[in-house]
Amino acid sequence: MSRRIAVVTSSRADYGFIKPVLREIVARPALQMELLVTGSHLMKEFGRTESEILADRFPISARIPIGHAVESPAGMADALGRSISSFAQLFAACRPDILVVIADRYEMFGAAVAGVTSGLTVAHISGGDLTEGVLDDAFRHALTKLCHLHFPSNEQSAARIRQMGEEPWRIHVVGEPSLDALTPTEWLTDEELAQKIGIDPSEWEPPLLVTLHPVTLKPERIAAQVAHLTMVLDEYRRLIVITAANGDAGGQLINDALCAYAQRRPRTRFVKSLGWVAYASLMRRARAMIGNSSSGLLEAPSFELPAVNVGDRQQGRLRAANVIDVADDTSDIRTGLEQALSDAFRERLKGLVNPYYDRRSSQKIVNVLETVELGEQIRMKRFQICT
């Protein structure tokens, strides 16, 4: 009888992250994948990105809507409550052998709470990281204590998981699975990228890639952060591609402001969602990227791409030499972008090793999912004192 592995995906970001794992699960005859789609995948405001999943021919086992775009902390709490309730109802009717959640989103936390209270074995990918500027940091560490299996991307993160009292046999350092998908056979051509972002191919040039997400622990700073960033972008005279913020409180404010900015600024495009292949292809061809997306730390090193990381959203996370950390003010952002665009900085990145790359991340994860012994032993967690 096949072992049933349910995987939760809530956004374009975690779908690109988890897609190589989905492929690996589907390729195993002893496993049956159940894909549970929720969050911004189902929202018109974020481009209804479940279309990307369907285009990849992954069957969707269940859709779990949790409402419209979150516009306030109260809205996030309400969405979290609906997420727990909806997933609990799903698991009451259909019980997978293992539930897989990813990273740090509140939608993932809702699924994990419902899974644990339903008596499921829950596995967590990418625990132990730090992003001290956002609420996601707390959700990630709470997920660690809820879950039974841990797949951190690096040894630093694994050490933090052990510090939280998790037994070593539960922890498997596997690298970043999204990097398994960086294959040259999938890259879009420059002409295809131009069409994707909505410009004439004759106007194509390597763009500046901009992605800004809300810093949820400092909601009062969001408007100022957008203003500081756009003041610097006003001084840049070449092609800019802006991708939408995530579904956290404050994300819609950022999207409205940057969409309006793109409409009035020449050679600027705002896109709700590019899909993983197009986004990775843009990173491969971009002059630099700027904002506060985790992709600047996780994937950009594989492209030797300079990444200007604005503010403290990614504070504490492992980073390679491509990352230029700057304060959330106009002067510092300007200086960081000038450094990122310089030939000297780009030259120093040649041969850069991505600290998150393992080569076999997805295979390692699915090997454990396929072979781990299930039952009372794995669900009965014991606190391990770290010495």
Q: Domain 3-175+358-379, what fold?
A: Rossmann fold (3.40.50)
Could you read off the pLDDT of 220-264 as tens digits, one per residue?
Answer: 788 899 999 999 999 999 999 999 998 777 888 999 999 999 999
Virtual torsion, Cα 115, 117, 119, 123, nearest 10 deg? 40
State the sign of the Cα–Cα–Cα–Cα dihedral 304, 279, 309, 319: negative
DSSP letter string, 130-196: --TTSTHHHHHHHHHHH-SEEE-SSHHHHHHHHHTT--GGGB-----GGGGG--GGGPPPHHHHHHH
**Model confidence at 69, in pLDDT bands (50, 70, 90)?**
low
Decide: helix, strand or coil at residue 60: strand
Tokens 């779908």 appear where? 15
Contact 140, 109 (CB under 8 A): no
**Is the domain defined by 184-348 classed in CATH 3.40.50.2000?**
yes
Q: What is the mean pLDDT of residues 271-298?
A: 93
List the chain domain ranges: 3-175+358-379, 184-348
Q: What would you report as the CA-atom Rg of the chain, rounded to the nearest whole angstrom? A: 20
Residue 64 predicted with pLDDT over 80: yes
Contact 148, 123 (CB under 8 A): yes
Average pLDDT over residues 269-283: 91
Q: Are 254 and 223 in contact (CB under 8 A)?
A: no
Q: What is the DSSP letter of 110?
A: H
Q: Which of 133, 89, 333 is nearest to 248 (CA)?
A: 133
Token pair in block for residue 267: 């050679």
Q: Is the dihedral of CA 178, 183, 185, 189 positive or negative?
A: positive
Is it true that 3-175+358-379 and 184-348 share their CATH fold?
yes
**Cα 79 to the center of its chain, rounded Å:** 19
- Give the burial string for 309-324 (b: 16+ CB within 10 Å, else e): bbbbbbbebbbbebbb
What residue type is assigned to position 130 of the chain? L
Task: Give the tens place of pLDDT for each residue, 346-387.
Answer: 999 999 999 999 989 999 999 999 999 998 899 999 999 876
